Chain A
Amino acid sequence: MSRENSLVTAQWVEEHLDDPKVVLIEVDEDTSAYDKGHIKGAIKLDWTTDLQDQVRRDFVNKEQFEALLSERGVANDDTVVLYGGNNNWFAAYAYWYFKLYGHEDLKLLDGGRKKWELDSRELTNELPTRDKTSYTATEQDASIRAFRDEVVAAIGTQNLVDVRSPDEYAGRLLAPAHLPQEQAQRAGHIPTAASVPWSKAANDDGTFKSDDELRQIYSDAGVDWDKDTIAYCRIGERSSHTWFVLKELLGQQNVKNYDGSWTEYGSLVGVPVALGDEPGQP
């Protein structure tokens, strides 16, 4: 992958607002953001209800995902453009999630909703109507999703990239600072994980930095480009942002997102945990 086929600008989106084969989808952490105004023609996916199993901690299955996209009017050959607030955290999460189920033509709007708003571009309250489709998903692509056992096995052998804020990495905070401090049983990070906050990859307006700048950031943090990589955060959305950078923008092979992330790892019995600002020993 590369920047050209995975990222579009706000200008490109504005030029394709009336293209029926381009489906804009807003996915926000604040699931009510769409209802306060969205890009013309955009549909909404709610990451808490549409994308999560409502009983177990897992994603909706293949059949549920197919039913969801069919009902919302997304076709297999549509160009899906994802965008959202919070510098595209949850839009990147949805991008990774759509990849997991094999959607081919996917783009992220560079800068997301914030860039769109800071540019003073138009938002609307009009709800679009899309005809139902018959969407077919693939089985989950296991090459981009990491589970806990392979994360533990990766300690000291693969690149582990912790993309949370430095205070979460060190164990001084348990959650991003716009949320109440709760969740995992223990604070800290997975031993040997490099701390590369997701925000290092983005400019203040939410757009991604240049490929050269990005490569430098991860190299400086000790990422070995010859090794496989697992990115994690608290619940897997900020690490989707970093997964997008490493896999889609920089074209790195074998990059996985650990969606269990710290809320799972920090509650596991018997696994090693490192505290403080240093990666720590295996």
Chain B
Amino acid sequence: MCGATEGGLSLDGIDVKKEAIVQGQVLRDGEPVPNAYVRLLDRTGEFTAEVPTSATGHFRFFAGDGEWTLRTLAPKADPVDQAVHAAVGTVAEVVVAI
């Protein structure tokens, strides 16, 4: 998971230099979870955005500089919270295990 698009969602047409990207993959026992929901919460815990995972379990957000929390919901699993740091011009890669 080093490249911004490897195995994940296409970044075609997006000016990566201007975005603080947070992206990754949701896994259950090492297998991608395509029907999970990932929520991005701000530094106060307030909801900022939510995306369903792709067929390969991937998700992506365009955040801002700073600290964020990813909350992952999936069928037959407890919600999982994970802290992540985002910065404009970079891609933060996160693997969420449920």
Which residues of A approach B to under 8 Å, CB–CB? 30, 33, 36, 85-87, 114, 117-120, 165-167, 172-173, 175-181, 197, 199-200, 204-205
By the criterion of a CB under 8 Å from any partner CB, how many residues of chain B are at the interface?
29
B52 beta carbon closer than 8 Å to chain A: yes
A276 to chain B, nearest CB (A): 15
Contact, CB under 8 Å: A181 / B18: yes
B75 beta carbon closer than 8 Å to chain A: yes
Closest to B37 in A: A114
Q: How far is the CA of A204 from the CA of B50 in the complex (A)?
A: 10
Do A85 and B63 form a contact, CB below 8 Å, given A118-B37, A181-B18? no
Question: Which residues of chain B are within 8 angstroms of A114 by Cβ–Cβ distance?
Answer: 37, 52, 73
Contact with A along B27-60 (1 / 0, CB 8 A): 0000000010101101010111111100100001
Contact, CB under 8 Å: A178 / B40: yes
Question: Which residues of chain A are within 8 angstroms of B71 by Cβ–Cβ distance?
Answer: 204
Closest to B88 in A: A181
Do A120 and B76 form a contact, CB below 8 Å, given A165-B48, A167-B48, A177-B49? yes
Contact, CB under 8 Å: B61 / A177: yes
B74 beta carbon closer than 8 Å to chain A: yes
Do A120 and B75 form a contact, CB below 8 Å, given A177-B62, A178-B61, A179-B62? yes
Closest to B35 in A: A117
A-B pairs, 5 with minimum CB distance? A199-B47, A177-B49, A178-B49, A165-B48, A120-B75
Listed A/B pairs (20) with beta-carbon separation below 8 Å: A30-B52, A33-B52, A87-B50, A118-B74, A165-B46, A166-B42, A167-B48, A173-B64, A177-B40, A177-B49, A177-B61, A178-B49, A178-B50, A178-B51, A178-B61, A179-B62, A180-B15, A180-B62, A200-B47, A204-B79
B75 to chain A, nearest CB (A): 5
Contact, CB under 8 Å: B64 / A167: yes
Contact, CB under 8 Å: A118 / B75: yes
Q: How far is the CA of A154 from the CA of B15 in the complex (A)?
A: 37
Q: How far is the CA of A120 from the CA of B51 in the complex (A)?
A: 18
Q: How far is the CA of A193 from the CA of B18 in the complex (A)?
A: 29
Question: Which residues of chain A are within 8 angstroms of B51 by Cβ–Cβ distance?
Answer: 178
A165's contact among B47, B52, B73, B79, by CB below 8 Å, is which? B47
Q: How far is the CA of A87 from the CA of B52 in the complex (A)?
A: 11
Closest to B13 in A: A180
Q: How far is the CA of A276 from the CA of B73 in the complex (A)?
A: 31
Question: Which residues of chain B are within 8 angstroms of A87 by Cβ–Cβ distance?
Answer: 50
List 6 additional contacts besides A165-B46, A177-B48, A199-B46; criterion CB under 8 Å.
A165-B49, A167-B64, A175-B62, A176-B48, A178-B40, A181-B62
B56 to chain A, nearest CB (A): 13
A204's contact among B19, B42, B73, B76, by CB below 8 Å, is which? B73
Contact, CB under 8 Å: B47 / A197: yes
Contact with A along B59-92 (1 / 0, CB 8 A): 0111110000001011110010000000000000
A273 to chain B, nearest CB (A): 19
Q: How far is the CA of A181 from the CA of B49 in the complex (A)?
A: 13
A181's contact among B19, B37, B48, by CB below 8 Å, is which? B19
Closest to A89 in B: B50
Contact, CB under 8 Å: A204 / B39: yes
B14 beta carbon closer than 8 Å to chain A: yes
Contact, CB under 8 Å: B14 / A180: yes
Question: Which residues of chain A are within 8 angstroms of B62 by Cβ–Cβ distance?
Answer: 175, 177-181
Contact, CB under 8 Å: B42 / A176: no
